[in-house]
Amino acid sequence: MTKFSDLNLNPKVLKAIEEAGYEEPTPIQAGAIPPALEGRDVLGIAQTGTGKTASFTLPMLSLLARGRARARMPRSLVLCPTRELAAQVAENFDTYSKHLKLTKALLIGGVSFKEQDKLIDKGVDVLIATPGRLLDHFERGKLLLTGVQIMVVDEADRMLDMGFIPDIERIFSLTPFTRQTFFFSATMAPEIERITNTFLQAPERIEVARQATASETIEQGVVMFKPSRRDRADSEKRKVLRALIDAEGDKCTNAIVFCNRKVDVDICAKSLRKYGYDAAPIHGDLDQSQRTRTLDSFRNGELKILVASDVAARGLDVPSVSHVFNYDVPGHAEDYVHRIGRTGRAGRDGKAMMICAPRDEKNLEDIERLIQKEVPRLDNPVKGAAPQPDTTDEARGDDKPPRKTRSRRKPKTDEAAAQTVEATDNNAPAAPDTKPAEDNSSSKPRPRRSSGGRGRSDAGGKPVVGMGDHMPSFIALSFDERRTG
């Protein structure tokens, strides 16, 4: 079994490793450190949570142990996609360089330029930065990259997703051609393959796991969720999330809940707090100081549930995360691997559960195709508590009350009258065409319907045309009858 002492690291670096409690390197570390110490370019491909950060941190410190930095000219450069990952890399350098007299600077957004300029002016051995802030300093004339001896690109596939590839290419062009380059990624997209072929010289390729695979120590599951109504989908989905957390009980010591949108991160965190859960949000729109405090609280165990966007999916090293809940199915299949990689780290067991709505089933198929296995289906924990269907408007499947439609049926009286007229026309015998006997009563003889069923007959038997069925009876009388009456 390989040990760190077998890798020819600097003795002071080895001492720091021992004090940190590490003895055996992970596969990616054992494969990447020896060629890096030999001065070769390294292309490392490994799933998240396998110790890629130490794979370049330890050899860099050993190589930089001799030498001195000059003002505004860092000796090494580490590029990270997010502020959180850059801050974590800086913590790793602090841990392993405690016995070395090396300086570092962290260039990330949300922090004053003035403080960062002071560090650069003094000269730094290790410069850790996000691409945007690094180019800001360069364009302001505060930074020169001509002295870079070692350059590291960490989480290269995430750089691609975030649109940093043009910035990476520009930064490469600003560094010396003779630099040593370390390139680390969890996946190897064609665009990243092109960059490595362009900027790396005969790199040592270390691939310790199949691309985009999840750790075998992570138990996965997905709940197929279908809301009762569209306008209740969000609230019912949050109810499923709370039920999943409750079902884990004491096994859920802490957890990260991932949402696709920043607004959902805030809403979900607020909802969890409303129901008594210890939760806080973290995403790119929050102030950097607030993000730092939230992460520190989560790492220290003061915060139990971290609700995050994908800004926290890469590189966050909290070894004891017991659960990951994907409130949303990620739009990119690779993000699923990185999200669930926050648990089950360093050989520990972990559990990752996901909620899949009908509109997310296509993304779920992409994930299963990427990891080459089916994610086990879980029972909906609130299915038994779902209300039974009833006949009220609220229980309908649509989210609007049924529209009132005008009935095409005739009023009942008109329909009965029509049936009476039809029976009269078809079944009643024709009335004899004779003049009724006169009497002295006040009632007048009613007009009779003709055999043709159209119009009425007058007192002399002649048809009266065009007056309709409601013609007053006196109109049908002849003038002689009116005079004698």
pLDDT band at residue 423 under the 50/70/90 scheme: very low
Whether 27 and 176 map to the same domain: the answer is yes
Start-to-end Cα distance in the chain: 132
The pLDDT of residue 403 is 47
- At 129-162, the pLDDT tens digits run 999 999 999 999 999 999 999 999 998 888 887 7
Q: How far apart are the C-alpha atoms of 184 and 43, rounded to whole Å?
A: 6
Whether 117 and 234 map to the same domain: the answer is no
Whether 483 and 350 map to the same domain: the answer is no
Chain centroid to Cα 220, Å, comes to 17
Q: How far apart are the C-alpha atoms of 15 and 9, rounded to whole Å?
A: 10
The pLDDT of residue 104 is 92
Q: How far apart are the C-alpha atoms of 156 and 186, rounded to whole Å?
A: 8
Q: What's the chain's Rg over C-alpha atoms?
A: 41
CATH code of the domain in which 301 resides: 3.40.50.300
pLDDT band at residue 430 under the 50/70/90 scheme: very low
What percent of the chain has pLDDT above 90?
48
Whether 245 and 192 map to the same domain: the answer is no
**DSSP, residue by residue, 127-182:** EEE-HHHHHHHHHTT----TT--EEEE-SHHHHHHTT-HHHHHHHHHHS-TT-EEE
Q: How far apart are the C-alpha atoms of 443 and 436, rounded to whole Å?
A: 13
The pLDDT of residue 483 is 55
Using the structure block, give the residue that is written with the tokens 């002492």.
Answer: 5
Is residue 231 in some structural domain? yes
- At 239-296, the pLDDT tens digits run 999 999 999 999 999 999 999 998 999 999 999 999 999 999 998 788 878 888 998 8
- Beta strand 323-326 with 377-378: parallel, antiparallel or unpaired? unpaired
Whether 72 and 172 map to the same domain: the answer is yes
How much is the pTM?
0.62
User: Helix, strand or coil for residue 258?
Assistant: strand
For residue 157, the number of C-alpha atoms closer than 13 Å in the C-beta half-sphere is: 24
Q: How far apart are the C-alpha atoms of 164 and 153, rounded to whole Å?
A: 11
How many domains would you assign to the chain? 3
pLDDT band at residue 70 under the 50/70/90 scheme: confident
Q: Whole-number mean pLDDT of the chain?
A: 80
- Residues 103-113 as b/e (b if ≥16 CB within 10 A, e otherwise) read bbbbbbeeeee
Is residue 423 in some structural domain? no
Print the domain residue range for 96.
Answer: 4-207
Whether 377 and 351 map to the same domain: the answer is yes
Name which of 76-80, 314-318, 362-366 the model is least confident about: 314-318
